[in-house]
């Protein structure tokens, strides 16, 4: 139930308001500057927020606990992404560092 | 002529598939691991059609967050499409009415990168349609493949970890100025501090907002 309601609301608003806002409809007013500025930073924040929740914690029963293996591999991944700027290098380094940590620890 | 323009658009997508396919496959695998059926993962993908919010929604739904948190978080992540929509509307001057909903549906991050790359703001309706068909087919197809084959992949491979690796990669590539680095730093610190203690998964949304505000404040102070 929650799945359907939330999926439909998000899908509807995303399509007709966000994506279609200026393409299906043709409004004349631009956004206020503050909104535009805010939106400039949301994607970066979203990427790091989602990566963070998956790289820092592990779900332990009902509790979230820190996951040192994932955090360490995450730091290595960050360095790989920063210096290589290459998706496959980053993916290879990130995954193999986690496997190595699991192998040795 | 229109077909030729669509073909041209479709070909523009090919170099981006190396990023799109692993991302979509990981999204599908993740859904299966979180207990969603293949059908649910594909429906979510077809209706929402945006990787980051699909993942965030699956996270929150799996921890039984209330509807308003799921919706608010996903909409916050999807707000950027409004900026894309405004920025790309000059490229749709000659788009026929019937094609407009389809162009809107396929307005994903890849579309923004490809269409806005041409600074001549001439009509791009059919190139856009070509990009859209490709992205749509490969994205939903790969989500399906990931969801379908997700439970035959052995758990010790920890393949679910590929997903945050990709998010981190895309995030790092956005770190083009100091303000964005501050955004990233504040977001991560806030996730560490708030995500485990805030109720119902609301820490995710809160951290994104705090990170974005930190970025604006930094930019204003530097300017």
Contacts of B84 in chain A (CB under 8 A): 19
Task: Note whether B71 contacts A15, CB cutoff 8 Å.
Answer: no
* pLDDT tens string B45-80: 999 999 999 999 999 999 899 999 999 999 999 988
- Which pLDDT value is given to residue A56? 95
Who's near A82: CB < 8 A, 6+ residues apart?
B172
For B66, name the nearest residue in chain A, comparing CA atoms only: A2
Partner B contacted by A100 (CB < 8 A): no
Contacts of B223 in chain A (CB under 8 A): none
* pLDDT tens string A33-56: 887 788 789 889 999 999 999 999
Q: Which of A54-63, A68-77, B190-199 has the highest mean pLDDT?
A: A68-77
Report pTM.
0.83
- Which pLDDT value is given to residue A61? 65
Who's near B38: CB < 8 A, 6+ residues apart?
B32, B144, B147, B148
Q: How far is B148 from chain A (nearest CA, A)?
A: 19
- Which pLDDT value is given to residue B156? 81
Task: Note whether A18 contacts B171, CB cutoff 8 Å.
Answer: no
3-class secondary-structure state, position A28: coil
Task: Note whether B57 contacts A73, CB cutoff 8 Å.
Answer: no
Whether B19 contacts B114, CB under 8 Å: no
For B60, name the nearest residue in chain A, comparing CA atoms only: A3
- Which pLDDT value is given to residue A94? 96
For A80, name the nearest residue in chain B, comparing CA atoms only: B169
Judged against a pLDDT cut of 70, whether residue A75 lies above it is answered with yes
For B111, name the nearest residue in chain A, comparing CA atoms only: A19
- Which pLDDT value is given to residue B150? 85
Within 8-47 of A, beta carbons closer than 8 Å to B belong to 8-11, 13-24, 26, 30-31, 34, 36-47
Whether B139 contacts B107, CB under 8 Å: no
Judged against a pLDDT cut of 80, whether residue A87 lies above it is answered with yes
Of the candidates B206, B173, B202, the one whose C-alpha atom is nearest the C-alpha of residue B189 is B206
Q: How far is A76 from chain B (nearest CA, A)?
A: 10
Q: What is the DSSP letter of B177?
A: S
Task: Note whether A45 contacts B168, CB cutoff 8 Å.
Answer: no
Extract the residue ranges of chain B whose pLDDT is less than 50: none
Who's near B133: CB < 8 A, 6+ residues apart?
B6, B10, B106
Task: Note whether B184 contacts A44, CB cutoff 8 Å.
Answer: yes
């Amino acid at each position: 139930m929650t799945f359907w309601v939330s999926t439909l609301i998000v899908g509807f608003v995303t399509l007709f308001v966000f994506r279609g806002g200026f393409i299906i409809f043709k409004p004349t007013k631009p956004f206020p500057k503050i909104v535009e500025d805010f939106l400039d930073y949301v994607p970066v924040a979203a990427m790091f927020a989602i990566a963070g929740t998956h790289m820092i914690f592990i779900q332990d029963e009902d509790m979230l606990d820190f996951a040192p293996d994932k955090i360490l591999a995450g730091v290595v991944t960050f360095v790989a992404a920063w210096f290589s700027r290459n998706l496959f290098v980053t993916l290879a380094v990130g995954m193999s560092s986690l496997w190595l940590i699991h192998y040795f620890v | 002529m229109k077909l030729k323009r669509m073909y041209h658009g479709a070909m523009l997508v090919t170099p981006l598939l190396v990023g799109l396919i692993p991302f979509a496959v990981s999204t599908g695998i993740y859904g299966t691991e979180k207990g969603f059926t293949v059908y649910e993962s594909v429906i979510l993908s077809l209706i929402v059609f945006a990787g980051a919010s699909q993942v965030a929604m699956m996270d929150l739904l799996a921890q039984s967050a209330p509807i308003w948190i799921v919706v608010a978080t996903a909409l916050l992540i999807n707000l950027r499409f409004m900026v894309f929509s405004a920025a790309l509307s000059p490229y749709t001057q000659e788009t026929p009415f019937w094609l407009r909903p389809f162009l809107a549906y396929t307005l994903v991050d890849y579309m923004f990168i490809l269409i806005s790359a041409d600074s001549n703001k001439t009509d791009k309706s059919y190139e856009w349609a070509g990009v859209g068909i490709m992205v749509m087919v490969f994205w939903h197809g790969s989500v399906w493949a990931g969801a379908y084959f997700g439970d035959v992949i052995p758990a010790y491979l920890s393949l679910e970890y590929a997903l945050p690796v990709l998010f981190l990669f895309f995030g790092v590539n956005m770190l083009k100025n100091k303000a964005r680095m501050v955004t990233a730093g504040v977001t991560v610190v806030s996730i560490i501090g708030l995500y485990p203690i805030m109720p119902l998964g609301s820490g995710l949304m809160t951290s994104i907002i705090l990170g974005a505000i930190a970025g604006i404040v930094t930019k204003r102070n530097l300017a």
